[in-house]
Amino acid sequence: MPRRSYDHYCAASRALDVVGDRWSLLLVRELCGGPRRYSDLFADLPGISTDVLASRLKELERDGIVTRERLGPRANAAAYQLTDTGLALRPVLDALSIWGTGLLGERTTTDAVRAHWFALPLGRAVAQRLGHGSATVFVGDTVFHIVVDESGVRHHDGPAPDPDTELHLDLTTAAAVARGDQELPWPHPTGTSP
């Protein structure tokens, strides 16, 4: 299927030609933490059809946003990951996350949620408290880590190799921090009381 284009000679228009389709930026969000298998992407994007997922992944691969790496000898065992061009979209997602905070509101009964979706706002909150370093974040059973250094704030799947701190949050607290309704609970150094 040929790509639809706005046919505007404008940088924003050209960018939207590549990542403006429904689900494209959410796929980038899913891959910001690290490589993911097709089945993981499908599970963490409630509402996407298998046809749309396959189509968006092919388009993003064609446009140099993601790569597909085989995981062993089986042809269907593969993981998708962001290229350097795809990783350059992290600040775009962070800006959208900041802009969308006021739109978040309270969670409704029909809203899907995954703990790792809070990695962007939690990353900003960790950066404010930590300055530089890394933090392993546990939100329920989900674990990711946040790295803050001179190149910015990034999150990755799994625990940090040698974190400066660990945060244990429930989903309700993570959502409240993401909405800006609550400050990030910060652990006290070992041996001190709150």
Find the angle CA(106)-CA(112)-CA(117) to the nearest 5 degrees. 85
Q: Indicate where the chain has its CATH 1.10.10.10 domain(s).
A: 11-87
11-87 CATH choice from 2.60.120.10, 1.10.10.10, 3.90.550.50, 3.40.50.1970: 1.10.10.10
CATH architecture of structural domain 90-179: 2-Layer Sandwich (3.30)
**Do 193 and 187 touch, CB atoms closer than 8 A?**
no
Residue 192 has pLDDT above 60, yes or no: no
Ranges 70-74, 95-99, 115-119, 120-124: which has the least confidence = 70-74
- State how beta strands 142-149 and 66-70 pair: unpaired
Residue 26 has pLDDT above 50, yes or no: yes
Cβ(17)–Cβ(62) below 8 Å: no
Q: What's the pLDDT tens digit per position in 53-94?
A: 999 999 999 999 999 998 777 666 789 999 999 999 999 999
pTM: 0.89
Per-residue pLDDT, 1: 54
Closest CA to 178 of 107, 110, 129: 107
CATH 3.30.1050 location in the chain: 90-179
Residue 191 has pLDDT above 80, yes or no: no
Angle (nearest 5°) at CA 118 between 112 and 119: 140
pLDDT (average), residues 41-57: 97
Strands 165-169 and 133-139, bridge-based pairing: parallel
Q: Which residues lie below 8 Å from residue 150, measured CB to CB, with a gap of 6+?
A: 132
